[in-house]
A and B are shown apart, each in its own frame.
Chain A
Amino acid sequence: GAGVSQSPSNKVTEKGKDVELRCDPISGHTALYWYRQRLGQGLEFLIYFQGNSAPDKSGLPSDRFSAERTGESVSTLTIQRTQQEDSAVYLCASSSPGVYEQYFGPGTRLTVT
C-alpha cells in the first residue's frame, strides 16, 4: 500500500467496553510497532512485532491491553474494559528489514466516556 493505514480514525466508547484498533502496515514491512500518545505527552511505546511474533511487549500498560498480528501483515490492538485513562491517540508504525525509519500511520483517536 501507499502508507500505513489505521482504522477507525476516531472511536468513542463507553467506560468498560472493549475496543479493537486495526493497523495495516506498508506491504513487505516485517516490523510493526504500536505507540500511544496521550494529550500533551510524547509517544509511549506499547508493543513491537517482528513478523507475527512479539519479542517486546514491555510497553503494554496492563493486562487489559493485548495485540496480535497475522500473516505478517495486519495487526489488531485490543483494549478490554476500557478506562478513561485509555483515552489517547494510538499510532502504528512499520519498518522494513535493515532500515532505520519507522513509517507512521495517521492514528486512531480513542475517547472513553
Chain B
Amino acid sequence: GEDVEQSLFLSVREGDSSVINCTYTDSSSTYLYWYKQEPGAGLQLLTYIFSNMDMKQDQRLTVLLNKKDKHLSLRIADTQTGDSAIYFCAESISDYKLSFGAGTTVTVRA
C-alpha cells in the first residue's frame, strides 16, 4: 500500500531556511509533489520532481529526492511570513492519482 509521512509542525524565523521532510513507501512512484495550502484556500502546486532526478531548484524552492531511502525534502530559502501555510507532500500511485501526507504546518515568526 501507499503511505506518505511528514512531520506535523515546523516553526521558523523569518529570513531563515525552512526544510520540510517527507518519506514515502511506493518505490514505483513516478512523480513526487509539494503543495501549499493557505487557510481557507485550495491546494497550490509548488513544485514536483520526477523520480529519476535527485534535485530540482525553482527560485527559493529546492527539492531533494533520495530514492534509495524514499525520502523527499522541500527547502524554502529566506522564509517569509507569506510562506506560513500547510505543506503537503504527495506521491503518484498510479495513473496520476496521488497519495498525500498529513501535511506540515509551517509557522513563520518574526
Real complex partners, A and B?
Answer: no
> Residues of A with Cβ closer than 8 Å to B?
none
